[in-house]
A = this chain, B = another copy of it.
Amino acid sequence: MRPTIKDIAERAGVSKTTVSFALNDPSRISVETYNRVMSIVTELDYVPSPVARTLTTKRLGALGLLLPQPITEALRNPYVVEIVRGIGELCAERELSLTMLPPLRGRVLEAARRAFVDGLITIGVGPDHEVVELLNRRRIPFVTIDGADTDATVNVGVDDEGAAYGLMRHLLDLGHRRVAILALMPDTIKLPEERFSLVRDRRIAGFSRALAELSLSLESPGICVVPAESSIEGGDAAVSALLARSGEPLPTAVVAMADIVALGAYEACRKAGLAIPGDLSVAGFDDIPLAESANPPLTTIHQPGRKKGAAAAALVVELLDGVDAEHRRVLHRCLETRLVVRASTAAPRPDPAASGLARASSPAS
């Protein structure tokens, strides 16, 4: 159906080689021949099969994004969408296409093996992930987003620990002492030894550090960590359950590891008739586009999702280009985050039970 190089060659009365030259290196043939060949190419609307071409050139013109979840799930999180958009920026620039690679048979590894691309980008894959070993062994250029800065991977990320510290500090400074942390779910498709995501762990560490400054910890009364799926529903469910918990005093603040989860918390508050931030302060992480226009606008950690994607893609392309150059040095890119205080966080209502104490001044630094 689709014309092949042979068809063109025959029609033009030349060899396949000549057609190939016309397309790839016109200087090697005469102008007349070039014109003749190209007119047929245009007439038949011929485009060399990228598949066949790849067989020899090893270049496909496609970047792959290894997703930790099925496409449907992954794109529920606007933060992921932002990353994809960032990668898209570079794709446009370099005329690359982008292939989304969901786990195959439940394994990211399978998807990576079958991947049909020049280079790969992963989200949330740590250096111990089985996929890293495979890709390094096969020398497939790849860059991790939100992975870790080790020799095994080229990574683009942020200072999760520091950002989390800042966020928790903000809440503590406001006077909150009973705060619930909505943590990212342990990623089911990770390897056993990496049960919790790196990002989660680093943020937990940051939260802990801030708490420690007030002699608090994750185990202190009033502080709790509950897992929530990265979606509105996930946040809603987690907070609704929290609010329904009887016996203990309710938290005065909720901090989510993803804005989308924080917005789920909004939903739960609405149902429970709780005012934000009057009854409950809510903070998020990511600063997705919605965060600003939410009601109330969400206090969160701004994370440059688009830039992350773009930076990762740029690095992959760099790896792609500099494969032979000894250039292939391990690189890490750490992008900036910042605390964006909006209207969803405020000082807690004075606690009738323990007034005076809850209102403690800001801690020693």
Give the interface of A toward B (CB within 8 A): 1-2, 45, 47, 50-52, 54-55, 60-62, 64, 70-72, 74-76, 81, 84-89, 91-92, 95, 97-102, 104-105, 111, 113-116, 134, 137-139, 232, 263, 266-267, 289-290, 293-295, 306
Per the bound structure, the CA–CA distance linking A114 and B86 in Å amounts to: 22
With A72-B88, A97-B114 given, can you name 4 additional A-B contacts, CB distance below 8 Å? A72-B89, A92-B102, A290-B290, A293-B294
- Which B residues are in CB contact (< 8 Å) with A2? 138
A116 adjacent to B114 (CB under 8 Å): no
Listed A/B pairs (28) with beta-carbon separation below 8 Å: A1-B137, A1-B138, A45-B134, A45-B137, A47-B113, A47-B114, A50-B114, A61-B114, A70-B89, A71-B84, A71-B85, A71-B87, A71-B88, A71-B91, A74-B88, A75-B84, A75-B85, A75-B88, A97-B99, A97-B100, A97-B111, A97-B115, A97-B116, A98-B99, A99-B100, A232-B289, A290-B290, A295-B295
B52 adjacent to A71 (CB under 8 Å): no
Task: Name the residue among A76, A95, A139, A266 with the largest chain B CB count within 10 angstroms.
Answer: A95
10 pairs of A and B residues whose beta carbons are closest in the complex: A71-B88, A295-B295, A70-B92, A72-B88, A47-B113, A72-B85, A99-B99, A98-B100, A51-B54, A75-B85
Q: How many copies does the complex hold?
A: 2
Give the shortest distance, in Å, between A46 (CB) and chain B (any CB).
9
A71 adjacent to B98 (CB under 8 Å): yes
B85 adjacent to A116 (CB under 8 Å): no
- Which B residues are in CB contact (< 8 Å) with A104? 95
B102 adjacent to A91 (CB under 8 Å): yes
Give the shortest distance, in Å, between A222 (CB) and chain B (any CB).
29
B99 adjacent to A62 (CB under 8 Å): yes
